[in-house]
């Protein structure tokens, strides 16, 4: 009898506790529903972080990093205010005026680079040195006498000799070179004949200069033939006019 009376009492106690637990659970659920939805994180995880393989937990609760300011780029051809303190902020600096094209004519050859030509005028007893179309200098000469005249025509220098040695064609005597030699200090040959060569040469017989006195060659003062020698070269044109 004692066992039967105890079981109902215990069962009643379990039932009472169960009802209390259910009531408490219903009350808590009601309080959660009235409080509203769950809060959302203030700094959601950017999609790029997940895409780059970073852990989601690494960014939770952290403030986003501030982006670095972009550097200021100044074009090389525009001065800054520090270079021009009088410049108006935001204004475009004045550009230098365009340079006018150089319309000067092409440089011509220097006088020393122009070709030299010799013109011997027999009537004038004078040889002219042309550089280009301009007469640079002229010298008095002696030309061939009427029986042995200096030939006219156009020729070219083909012999140039310093301190030439002269051999007398009639006696065979050889004269040492020098100012007293019959050929003087220089020889410039420009025309060849069957009986010899015609050319410019120095002479000690200065009183013949200006006359028709030679055997066909062109006599000059030694100082003049030395100057002429420096102005010509092999191949220089020689024009002999009447």
Residue 161 or residue 78, greater confidence: 161
Question: What do you get for the CA distance between the two ends of the chain, in Å?
Answer: 182
Q: pLDDT category, 93, cuts 50, 70, 90?
A: low
Which pLDDT value is given to residue 43? 40
For 32: left if phi > 0, alpha if psi spans -120 to 50, otherwise beta; the answer is alpha
Mean pLDDT is lowest, of 54-63, 120-129, 233-242, for 54-63
Nearest to 166 by CA among 152, 186, 151: 186
51 backbone dihedrals φ, ψ, rounded to 5°: -70, -30
Cβ–Cβ under 8 Å, residues 216 and 151: yes
Mean pLDDT is lowest, of 71-80, 128-137, 231-240, for 71-80
CB burial class (10 A; 0-12, 13-18, 19+) of residue 121? middle
User: Could you give the residue numbers annotated as active site?
Assistant: 201, 217
Which pLDDT value is given to residue 219? 98
Residue 119 or residue 2, greater confidence: 119
Question: pLDDT digit string (tens) for 223-241?
Answer: 999 999 999 999 999 999 9
Residues 120-138, mean pLDDT to the nearest whole number: 97
Q: Is the pLDDT of residue 5 over 60?
A: no
Question: pLDDT digit string (tens) for 154-203?
Answer: 999 999 999 999 888 888 889 889 999 999 999 999 999 988 899 999 99
Per-residue tokens: 80: 């800054």
Model confidence, pTM: 0.55
187: CB partners within 8 A, 6+ apart: 159, 160, 161, 164, 199, 200, 201
Alpha carbon separation from 155 to 151, 192, 237 (Å, rounded):
10, 10, 6
- Separation CA 141–CA 209 (nearest Å): 5
- Separation CA 236–CA 117 (nearest Å): 6
- Which value, to the nearest 10 degrees, does the dihedral of the CA atoms of residues 227, 229, 232, 234 take? -170
- Separation CA 140–CA 149 (nearest Å): 17
């Amino acid at each position: 009898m004692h066992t039967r009376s105890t079981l109902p009492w215990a069962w009643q106690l379990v039932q009472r506790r169960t009802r209390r637990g259910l009531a408490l659970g219903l009350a808590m659920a009601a309080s959660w529903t009235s409080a509203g939805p769950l809060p959302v994180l203030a700094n959601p995880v950017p999609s790029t972080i997940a895409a780059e393989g970073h852990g989601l937990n690494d960014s939770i609760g952290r403030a986003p990093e501030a982006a670095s300011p972009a550097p200021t780029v100044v074009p090389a051809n525009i001065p800054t205010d520090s270079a021009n303190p009088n410049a108006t902020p935001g204004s475009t600096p004045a550009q230098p005026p365009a340079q006018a094209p150089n319309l000067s004519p092409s440089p011509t050859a220097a006088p020393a680079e122009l070709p030299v030509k010799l013109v011997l005028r027999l009537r004038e007893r004078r040889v002219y040195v042309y550089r280009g179309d301009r007469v640079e200098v002229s010298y008095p000469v002696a030309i061939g006498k009427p029986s042995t005249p200096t030939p006219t025509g156009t020729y070219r220098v083909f012999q140039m000799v310093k301190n030439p040695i002269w051999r007398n064609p009639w006696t065979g005597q050889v004269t040492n070179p020098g100012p007293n030699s019959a050929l003087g200090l220089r020889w410039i040959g420009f025309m060849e004949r069957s009986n010899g060569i015609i050319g410019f040469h120095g002479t000690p017989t200065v009183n013949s200069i200006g006359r028709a006195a030679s055997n066909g060659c062109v006599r000059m003062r030694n100082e003049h033939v030395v100057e002429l020698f420096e102005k010509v070269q092999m191949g220089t044109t020689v024009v002999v006019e009447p």
